[in-house]
Structure 1
Amino acid sequence: MSIPLSTVREASAEQLEAAFSGPPEEAARWIAAAARAGMVEAQILYGQILLEGRGVKEDRSAALGWFQAAAGAGNLKALTMVGRCHELGWGTPIDLRRARAIYRDAAAKGFDWAQYNLAALLAREGDRAGALAWYRRAAEQGHAKSMTVLGRFLEAGWETPPDPAAAHALYARAAALGDFRAQFNMGTLATAAGDIPAALRWFGQAAAQGSPGFLGKMAMALLARPEAELRALGARIEAARAAGGRIAETPVAEEG
């Protein structure tokens, strides 16, 4: 299908996102046209399409090129994706020094995902103090994954005095924002408090959103519990995971 250039150039960010969520082949054609017309947001989305092979043949080198094009226009999300490519070897050899420098550049300019990625890289390299500082900065901006990891630092007392109350508050905020690891942590806290209905609700939410690797570990943890209800949930998660899916989400009841 031919797409009028005027239509492409006038597309809004919302239209681009809607196209991205549509039929893969059609989305790839439409967003590719917008990317070639110079739309920065489309260049990022087309890079993602090429990275995943969504509706087109996977081409990580080309994906990196589109991320670089958008980053050249000053887009911090695109710059962070360039760092991700260097960190993970997507379309280029792994270069952790380059990835770290790119993340630091975007992080210093305030981009929360760059702050999170920099923190994670520093943590893997053994610099917990540096990681803590960047997780904290991202969490202060409302970055849910950073809140969860910052909570773990506070709970364990890594490079900071232990503060379980603050940790649990961070888990609650991140869980409400949809972070499945925080939801699992909330379920663990509810289990420790003996509130199995609340634990089941939180674990159910985590199971509805978690990655395959996380779901495997979660199922094993629940299957090892003495509570029959938690073991049953673990069995459901494992069965759904083995079938390539997830269990249906169980909403958390509003507190009254």
Structure 2
Amino acid sequence: MGFLLRREEVLNVEKLQAMLDDSPVRAAQAILMAAKEGVVDAQALLGQILLEGRGIARDEALALRWFQIAAQGGHLMARNMAGRCLEHGWGCAADEVAAAKAYRFAAEAGLDWAQYNYANLLATGRGVAEDQQQALSLYRQAAEQGHAKSMNLLGRYLEDGRFCAQDLDAAVDWYRRSAEGGDFRGQFSYAAVLADRGQVDAALEWLRKALAGGNLKFLRTACKALAAAEDAQIRAMAEAYQQRAASLS
């Protein structure tokens, strides 16, 4: 297939996203062209592939710049991603105060990921004064939009009765929905509930899914919890988590 694309193809962001899997370099060049044409979705997508180094040389500073350009054009996810860059120091000096402002703007506009990210800062007092009630409210707003990570955290608040009335049935339901939504922490939380209820086979199945998707930090924490479980089959999962953690180290 030739490199050149018709202008109408360059401006079709959905086609460019699909092209990334088959021809990442060709797609990256087309995304760059569309971004320069002023297509806001392409500007946000360009920021993402620059951040990942997908089809184009990784450049975190340039990624942040394109996120900011797209954010100025009204792209909420780009504003959220600019916040991520600022929070973690990707392409810039880390600035949690500026990150909180970016998240807050997109969160107040209704973006679930921004609600989640802003809630994380509020819950830990980073870049903004700690406010557990507001964090809980934002987690709930994001969860109700289908955000799986927020579902799990909302479940924790409800299970512990932290800054809200304890509601174990609601907590379990949110854990289930988070697990089914693919969040590995939600899968682990739901597995813990099932194990406590004696549903060991179902718990083991969710633990396997959490194992497959968990990151290194999560796996190390999970090993300690599993090693102390009452059920021998669940304790045996600790070894599998340790092996998975070793492969990621």
Contact 1:51 1:60 in 2 (8 A): yes
SS of residue matched to 2:110:
coil
What RMSD, in angstroms, separates the aligned Cα atoms of the two structures? 2.1
Secondary structure in structure 2 of the residue aligned to 1:173:
helix
Matched, 1:6 2:7: yes
TM-score w.r.t. length of structure 2: 0.88
Given residue 67 of structure 1, which amino acid in structure 2 is its aligned partner?
Answer: F
The amino acid across from 2:154 in the alignment is L
* Equivalent residue, structure 2, for 1:92: 92
CA distance in 2, matches of 1:22, 1:204: 30
Range with greater deviation from structure 2 (233-242 or 143-152): 233-242
Cα distance in 2 for residues equivalent to 1:128 and 1:11: 42
Once the two structures are superposed, residues 15-43 of structure 1 have per-residue CA deviations (whole angstroms, 9 ceiling, x without a partner) of 23222334544443343333233332222
1:221 and 2:244 matched: no
Give 3-state SS (helix, strand or coil) of 1:243's partner.
helix
Distance (whole Å) between structure 2 residues aligned to residue 94 and residue 244 of structure 1: 25
Aligned-partner Cα distance in 1 for 2:91–2:184: 29
Indicate how the Cα distance of structure 1 residues 210 and 128 shifts in structure 2: closer, same or farther if over 3 A, else same.
same
Out of 211, 214, 224, which is 1:210 matched to? 214
Tell me if the contact between 1:8 and 1:34 (Cα under 8 Å) persists in the aligned partners: no
Q: Does structure 2 conserve the Cα–Cα contact (< 8 Å) formed by 1:9 and 1:39?
A: no
Counterpart amino acid of residue 206 in structure 1: A
Residue 238 (structure 2) pairs with residue 231 (structure 1):
no
* Structure 1: 4+ residue segments shifted above 4 A: none
Q: Does 1:128 align with 2:129?
A: no
Q: Aligned to 1:137, which of 132, 137, 141?
A: 141
Amino acid at match of 1:31: I
- 1:182 paired with 2:183, answer no
1:240 and 2:244 matched: yes
Relative to the length of structure 1, the TM-score reads 0.86
Q: 2:199 aligns with which of 160, 171, 195?
A: 195
CA offsets 1:153-185 (integer angstroms, 9 cap, x no match)? 111111111111111111111111111111101
Runs of 5+ unmatched residues, structure 2: none
Contact kept? 2:3, 2:26, Cα under 8 Å? no
Deviations for 1:45-88, whole angstroms, at most 9, x for unmatched residues?
22122112234332111001111121122111111111222222
* Equivalent-residue separation in structure 2 for 1:58 and 1:9 (angstroms): 21
Aligned length: 244
Alignment of 1:31 with 2:35, yes or no, is no
What is the CA deviation profile of residues 127-168 of structure 1, one whole-angstrom value per residue up to 9, with x for unaligned ones? 211211211221222211111111111111111111111111
Query: 1 CA distance for matches of 2:181 and 2:29?
Result: 33
Q: Which amino acid aligns with 1:21?
A: D
Percent identity (aligned): 44
Partner of 2:52: 52
Q: CA shift at 1:89, angstroms?
A: 1.7
